[in-house]
Amino acid sequence: MATATTIPAASADSSFLKRVPRGRRIDSTPTLFPDVPANRDSGPGALPPPGFAPERTGIARLAFSSPRADAKRGTEYFLLPVRSILNHCDSERVPFSWTVNPYRGCEFGCQYCYARYTHEYMELDGADFERKIYVKQEAGAIAARDLATEKIQGEHIAIGTATDPYQPAEREYGATRAILEQMAVRRGLSVSITTKSDQVLRDLDLLLQIAAHSSISVNLSITTLRTRLARMLEPRAPRPDLRMNAVRELRRAGISAGVFAMPLLPGITDRQEDLDALARAARDAGAQWFAAGVIFLMPSAQKQFFPFLDAKFPKLARRYREWFSRSNYAPETYRKEISVRVAALRKKYGLGSRPVEAARAKECGRQLSLGLECGVPAQRAESTANACAAQSPLRVLA
């Protein structure tokens, strides 16, 4: 279990090398792009030297030159140099100002994950989203610098908006914990974490330290209570009962926590009895809120999800293609129907619709909650949750 506050850069004298499994070495991996020549005169099929990518810029160039740290379970891990940990979100369609994603890519491999398109920015195929995981280097040190700027004061920071902060890589690399350690020594922050993993309980000590001087809430994304279905949809994510237990333990410790029933999959996880059972379990676990968001399918996600439907839910495949062929969103009539049903379940079980600001928020002057607003049309909102953790880029349905 990693607890270091930073992830050292991989160099010959770096202590990080001590954590590389015996028999392996950290190296740049040009096989990520085996068909790209080192320069235009190299001839077809020639490979560039390690770390050299003359025809790439930005994040694609950084990804190409990132050294490989390890490979296990059919997944490769790379160390990605970054300039910042906090990313500013200036869209009026999201209820937060800053996002934090300690990793690029997510090993949980959720069939429906819309965030696969983020790998395309690195000139990788969306199918590599769970096979090539990029760990942001020096996460703790960079977070310390970012958190020291005045511009974040009073602004909400959402952790886990594109990849799960507690995916398996966190056990070894500890990037999320390194960031939380920096948040724990500051006052007046407004922070939320969205995850599909009970591993968040490992950092309960830090969550309590943050809660002592700032506002913090945790959203556990749980799509279904049916274990076999969850394993099919989210192959490497922890079981639903483990996630619900995490809600229970967080609440016992005094941490604000709730359940995101996201994404809601038409014909698969939207049965009334299933949603009722999920809301009831959330209530029994002490959850303070219960929110739902219908699946959102960008083209990169469709490439993965439609073949999955063909194989596992062939009777639904045609309807999904009809619904999402012209739009990334499900029909508005369906979304409105789900909104009404979820609102009724919240009323039935006494659950809120949004995270609750902790009492300590008053120390910050102007604090923003995660702001899961009721009554906002889904097509006008973007995700408040991890693309893998909560999947949908829609504001949750009221």
The answer to whether residue 34 is domain-embedded is no
Neighbours of 306 (CB within 10 A): 16
**Residue among 251, 175, 260 at smallest CA distance from 219:** 260
Asked if the structure places residue 168 within a domain, the reply is yes
Which CATH number belongs to the domain containing residue 302 in this structure?
A: 3.20.20.70
Q: Which residues contact 162 (CB under 8 A, 6 or more apart)?
A: 99, 101, 104, 115, 118, 386, 387, 388
With beta carbons less than 8 A apart as the criterion, state whether 230 and 237 touch: yes
Look at residue 282 and tell me if it is in a domain.
yes
Domain count, the chain: 1
Cα distance between residue 372 and residue 384, in whole Å: 8
Rounded to the nearest angstrom, the gap between the alpha carbon of residue 168 and the centroid of all alpha carbons in its chain is 12
The Cα–Cα gap between 168 and 292 comes to: 25
Contact 6, 135 (CB under 8 A): no
Query: How do the pLDDT tens digits run along the chain, 398 residues long?
Result: 444 333 333 333 333 333 333 333 333 322 222 232 333 333 333 344 555 444 655 555 555 445 565 666 778 888 888 889 998 877 666 667 799 999 988 999 999 998 887 756 666 766 788 888 889 999 999 999 999 987 888 889 999 988 999 999 999 999 999 999 999 999 999 999 999 999 999 999 999 999 999 999 999 999 999 999 999 999 999 999 999 999 999 999 999 999 999 999 999 999 999 999 999 999 999 999 999 999 999 898 999 999 999 999 999 999 999 999 889 999 999 999 999 999 999 999 999 998 754 433 434 433 333 333 333 333 333 333 333 334 433 334 43
Residue 131 in any domain: the answer is yes
For residues 219, 381, 98 and 5, what is the CA-based torsion angle, rounded to 10 degrees? Answer: 30
Contact between 104 and 77 under an 8 Å Cβ cutoff? The reply is: no
Q: Is 315 within the bounds of a domain? A: yes
Structure tokens at 385: 């949750």
- DSSP sequence for 273-300: HHHHHHHHHHHHTT-SBEEEEE-B--HH
**Strand order in 290-294's β-sheet?**
86-88, 98-100, 156-159, 190-195, 215-221, 256-264, 290-294
Tokens of 204: 């309960």
Q: Is residue 310 part of a domain?
A: yes
| Two tokens, residue 366 | 């102007």
139-172 pLDDT tens trace: 999 999 999 987 888 889 999 988 999 999 999 9
Can you tell me whether residue 72 is helix, strand or coil?
strand
Q: Is residue 12 part of a domain?
A: no
Domain with 258 in it: 78-380
Report if residue 66 sits inside a domain. Answer: no
